[in-house]
Amino acid sequence: MFESLLMGPLASQRGKKLSGELWSRLVDKNLSPDGSGPGASHEDDFSSVPNCVATTAAGQIQPDKGGFAYIEADATPGAVRASSTEPSVMELLTSTDAADGDNHDTILITGGNVGVIGAAADSLLIFEARVSLPSVTDGNGSRFVGMVAPGRAQANGVILDSSGHALADTNLIGFFVSEDDNDKVKFVYRAAGQAAVEVLSVDGLAADTYYNLGFVFDPKAKASERLKIFVDNDEQSTYVTASDIASAAFPTSKLAACAAVKASANNDPQSMKLDLWAAYQGG
């Protein structure tokens, strides 16, 4: 599976494939006949995922194909749905109902909201997603894509209702676009009970443009580059070090892949497109 999703040697850095700089290390790692690695994995290009639409007025959940969606449902509910204009693309859309006021959540998580993909402490961990934002104008909600503690598909489970929005107090590693700076993506990590740590940021995001966002945690890498961050297949020059990972701020529990959108206080509907994602934990 990973081999079929990998970028080929002639593929552009911003393509509809997983980035070779992250995933090629698995190709020779005792892959099984279907191309998967020897550890736990999840990969989805959303070629056959039906819509997940809230079915009650209370902000409900709807599992599908091992995934789990939380959609804040009011008179006009949000949705996790197949894109109407792009094949094999999922769209996370928040509610548009003004009766609830503001700060609607739409969250997609793997493992049924209780299962896990892997741990971030003792073996190779790779994550990547290909995402697009409809707007990069400040004030247009917040987004997160990465890995979080299981069970976070709930109201305020990933992003809080606070002014400007902030990440929830939970274990997480990933990419965050905050409401007050919509054209900047930040790589952050947080352990429950600790302050969030921003490692780096990339400015100049463009609307309706896909970006491959990923990271590789390798416990065998040199101490100064224990976790590498990638944007469009390019390794960034700032790293999470071994001492960072040994600190209380870095999460070491099991995690699940997650994408989340939080609407703004003015209740304008917000969305994010997810073209594919993959996570791997193993030797």
In order along its 283 residues, the chain shows pLDDT tens digits of 455 555 443 333 344 678 989 987 776 555 555 655 567 788 888 887 656 665 554 454 554 444 677 777 666 777 787 788 887 888 888 877 665 557 888 888 887 777 677 655 678 899 999 999 998 888 788 999 999 998 888 888 999 987 667 899 999 999 999 988 889 999 999 999 999 999 999 999 999 999 999 999 998 899 999 999 999 999 999 999 999 999 999 998 888 899 999 987 766 788 899 999 999 887 6
Beta-bridge partners for 200? 187
If we measure between CA atoms, which residue out of 64, 84, 80, 83 comes closest to residue 72?
A: 80
Rounded Cα gap, residues 14 and 16, in angstroms: 7
If we measure between CA atoms, which residue out of 107, 90, 73, 79 comes closest to residue 262?
A: 107
Q: Can you read off the two tokens belonging to residue 28?
A: 């020779």
Q: Does domain 42-282 have CATH number 2.60.120.200?
A: yes
Rounded Cα gap, residues 171 and 267, in angstroms: 27
